[in-house]
């Protein structure tokens, strides 16, 4: 029950923080959304900032879990898993706006130190998942480019998210085919 209540608070906080941001969200609003007292929130979290950081960490863990599910799906080829991965990352804004906002802030060098640590953990954990997925592809090869592939794909996949958002602003009628280009380039790599 304790863990379940904490999870409920994090989910409610995630919605509020994503909609209104850290500064415009109050613990009173989160408590009201859950029909609990603010003291209950303080039972689980030391402060609003603490809740905010745990919410970001929770969303990061959910993203990593989703990525693991994609790459553990052995019913499709590795190429198809990467295509799903790129599509997933392109649409992450809708599901995990807090993480998207964190990325945006960090691009402007305006993140908190704890946010940077959470993001670093997300990116390195995501890279570890891709290393496992690609291990069969570059096993036994001494080419340093092969060992850099997981980091390249992680950074590129986040780039897909932002390029898709920028494209919707600049040329909404023109479809960006980044996923298709990356998927085609995977055919060469995964031969």
Q: What CATH number is given to the structural domain containing 34?
A: 1.10.10.60
Q: Is the pTM of this model over 0.85?
A: no
Q: Both 82 and 171 in a single domain?
A: yes
Give residue 74's pLDDT.
92
Domain identity same for 117 and 157: yes
What is the residue whose two structure tokens read 């998210």? 161
Q: Do 86 and 117 share a structural domain?
A: yes
Which ranges in 171-190 belong to alpha helices (H)? 178-189
Which residue range is the domain that position 33 belongs to? 1-45
In tens digits, the chain (191 residues) has pLDDT values of 778 999 999 999 999 999 998 899 999 999 999 999 999 999 999 999 999 999 999 999 999 999 999 999 999 988 889 889 988 988 888 899 999 888 887 777 666 788 888 989 999 999 999 988 888 776 666 555 567 888 888 888 888 777 766 666 666 666 656 656 666 666 666 65
d(CA 173, CA 77): 32
The answer to whether residues 91 and 15 belong to one domain is: no
| Helix, strand, coil percentages in the chain from 3-state DSSP, rounded to 5 | 80, 0, 20
Q: Are residues 14 and 34 in the same domain?
A: yes
Give the count of domains, the chain.
Answer: 2
> From CA 177, how far away is CA 174, in angstroms rounded?
9
Residues 6+ apart with CB under 8 A from 65: none
């Amino acid at each position: 029950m304790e863990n379940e209540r904490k999870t409920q608070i994090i989910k409610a906080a995630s919605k509020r923080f994503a909609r209104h941001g850290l500064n415009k969200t109050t613990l009173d609003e989160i408590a009201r959304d859950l029909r609990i007292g603010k003291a209950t929130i303080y039972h689980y979290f030391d402060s609003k900032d603490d809740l905010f950081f745990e919410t970001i960490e929770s969303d990061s863990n959910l993203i990593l879990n989703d990525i693991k599910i994609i790459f553990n799906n052995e019913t499709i080829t590795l190429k198809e898993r990467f295509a799903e991965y790129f599509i997933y990352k392109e649409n992450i804004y809708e599901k995990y706006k807090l993480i998207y906002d964190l990325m945006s802030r960090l691009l402007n060098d305006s993140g908190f130190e704890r946010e940077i640590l959470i993001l670093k953990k997300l990116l390195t954990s995501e890279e570890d998942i891709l290393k496992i997925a690609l291990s069969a592809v570059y096993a036994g090869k001494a080419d340093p480019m092969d060992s850099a592939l997981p980091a390249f794909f992680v950074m590129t996949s986040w780039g897909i998210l932002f390029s898709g958002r920028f494209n919707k602003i600049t040329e909404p009628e023109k479809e960006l085919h980044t996923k298709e280009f990356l998927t085609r380039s995977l055919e060469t790599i995964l031969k």
